[in-house]
Amino acid sequence: MPADPVAITRELLRCPSVTPAEGGALSYLETTLKAAGFTVHRKVFSEPGTDDVENFYARIGTEAPHLTFAGHTDVVPTGDEKAWKHPPFGGDIDNGELYGRGAVDMKGGIGCAVAAVLDHLAAHGGRPQKGSISFLITGDEESIAVNGTPKLLQWVDGMGEKFDHCILGEPSNQEEMGDTIKIGRRGSLNGHLIVTGKQGHVAYPQRADNPVRGIVKLIDALLSEPLDAGNANFQPSNMEFVSVDVGNKTVNLIPGEARAMFNIRFNDCHTLESLKALLQQRAEKAAGGKIKFEFKFQPSNAGVFVTKPGPFTELVANAVKETTGRAPALSTTGGTSDARFITHYCPVVEFGLVGQTMHAIDERVPIADLRALTTIYRKIVDRYFG
């Protein structure tokens, strides 16, 4: 009898694993995969000033090629539970849809991957057709992503294990199943531009130096010229200033400092360091030695990555098209994901459910989508090892 992705997902949804709590989700996966012959490791990672996070690694097989399914069982908070049509941790089915926090992001994707792998193993005597299959699951993706996937990857690498390819089951599709495969993500850089002037009375501007004039000039210079023109895989990088503040509540006071906060979503024309250098260069040119300024950048682990189209992306795309009838777009849009860590160990693509209700009240997934995704994953696994 085929494994049921709906039943597996329902069990996961009934685990209140609000980040970084494990909530029973990893324990359920451990029981399920151990029964199928997987070797399972539960690893807790910590760092001063952060929450301890429990992570999960399970593998069956010892040879190459090694295909891993990655994901996270932690979920965002539910918000007002009374506003939900069905309890957020109930796993209720209503009118062909499965409700629960994490149904889309991304317990549904994990449930489908587990079902597809169990079916593949059952069809081949309880072992992979050849090679190895693993699950790399974190409880830290919806939080600060410090004690989850990056440390779990380091631990696996320290054990001498290598991945050949990875499928991350994030909700990649935009409108309907099969419309999008994520082959990369833009990087993200947050920071402040700080201009220092001299405080004074507005009636005596000659005795002061208004930093507002300087910060306006620098913002204009930083935004007036594109950071790049984009390329075949990425749209142009984009800088957005999201606040400008002088901390001034008095109309007759020239402030001594002005701050502007910004975010840049950048493509692979830049690294974090080259992008910082470019901003410094452009600001210095605009300042002309007359404006005192500095950048303060927030620590970032959100670098850019792309998995170039090739045999692996083609394999995934063909499985999607055969199942859904749609030729998926290969996209690099959207925010960040744990794929930014995985890319340092092996090529990775993201393909999961439709992201319409992720993080929303009444998060839910059509039963038909769970079954379609399981079929897609099964085709990928069979052909990868076939």
Write down the catalytic residue from 74, 97, 140, 350: 74
Q: Is 322 a catalytic residue?
A: no
DSSP collapsed to 3 states, the chain: CCCCHHHHHHHHHCCCCECCCCCCHHHHHHHHHHHCCCEEEEEEECCCCCCCEEEEEEEECCCCCEEEEEEECCECCCCCHHHCCCCCCCCCEECCEEECCCCCCCHHHHHHHHHHHHHHHHHCCCCCCCCEEEEEEECCCCCCCCCCHHHHHHHHHHCCCCCCEEEECCCCECCCCCCEEECEECEEEEEEEEEECECEECCCHHHCECHHHHHHHHHHHHHHCCCCCCCCCCCCCEEEEEEEECCCCCCCEECCEEEEEEEEEECCCCCHHHHHHHHHHHHHHHHCCCCEEEEEECCCCCCCEECCCCHHHHHHHHHHHHHHCCCCEEECCCCCCCHHHHCCCCCEEECCCECCCCCCCCCEEEHHHHHHHHHHHHHHHHHHHC
Write down the catalytic residue from 11, 141, 268, 369: 141
Q: Is 81 a catalytic residue?
A: no
Residues annotated as catalytic are 74, 141
